[in-house]
Copies of this chain bind each other. A is one copy, B any other.
Amino acid sequence: MAEKQRVGRPRRSSRRMLEEAAAELFLEQTYDGTTIDDISSRAGVSRNTFFNYFSSKSDVLWVDLDETISALSRILASSPAPDNALDAVESTLLKVAAEHPANRVPWAFTQIELMGTRTELLSSGMARVLAVTETLNWYLTSNVRADAGQDAATAAAALTAAAATAAVRWANDGVGRGPLDGYVQAAISPVCAGFRPRFD
């Protein structure tokens, strides 16, 4: 993971440098008002180097969330067959939410009001929603009776939507907010209740 690279030209830049340069500029001139040229030149690298670390401009908006999402995937992928798949998903979501750093709010949420065209923001968010949905769907379908596949896909989508709503509310509640997992708990529990009869 944090493996020191052993051959080739050493990196002069880093993902963090670009992220921080971008963060400063987003605060100064909003996301839309900031070009990739701005970010890379403030970070002291070429424009192309930006694309060595991020595959798109909007990826910068989601760095924090992406780490939590990949944690979710890792945990689910390496967990043994559970008694009840739905309960396992619920507790895993809560665990991951609880471990999300309290002060790391994705830029996507904090900048949502300032953005001229919101379409790019929404669009990049869709990729994250889809990623979580596919993860949950994969886990549910592979740990549930074969005839419940339909319900698994639906439950995965509904759970993701509920959790995403919770995350948005959590972000909007500002510095006085409680921990994220409380929000997620309240949001997904009725969904779990609704689908539980389907997975028995």
Q: Which residue of B lies closest to A164 (CB)?
A: B157
- A195 and B186 contacting across the interface, CB-CB below 8 Å: no
Q: Which residue of B lies closest to A55 (CB)?
A: B119
A43 CA to B151 CA in the complex, in Å? Answer: 43
Number of interface residues of A (CB under 8 A): 37
A198 within 8 Å of B (CB atoms): yes
A160 within 8 Å of B (CB atoms): yes
A120 CA to B126 CA in the complex, in Å? Answer: 10
The residues of B that contact A180 with a CB separation of less than 8 Å are: none
Residue in B127, B129, B159, B194 whose beta carbon sits within 8 Å of that of A119 in the complex: B127
A157 CA to B151 CA in the complex, in Å? Answer: 17
A123 within 8 Å of B (CB atoms): yes
A151 CA to B160 CA in the complex, in Å? Answer: 15
Do A166 and B154 contact each other (CB < 8 Å), given the known contacts A122-B123, A161-B160, A194-B192? yes
The residues of B that contact A65 with a CB separation of less than 8 Å are: none
Do A157 and B162 contact each other (CB < 8 Å), given the known contacts A126-B126, A190-B195? yes
Q: Which residues of chain A from 6 to 63 have any CB-CB distance to chain B below 8 Å in the complex?
A: 56
A187 within 8 Å of B (CB atoms): yes
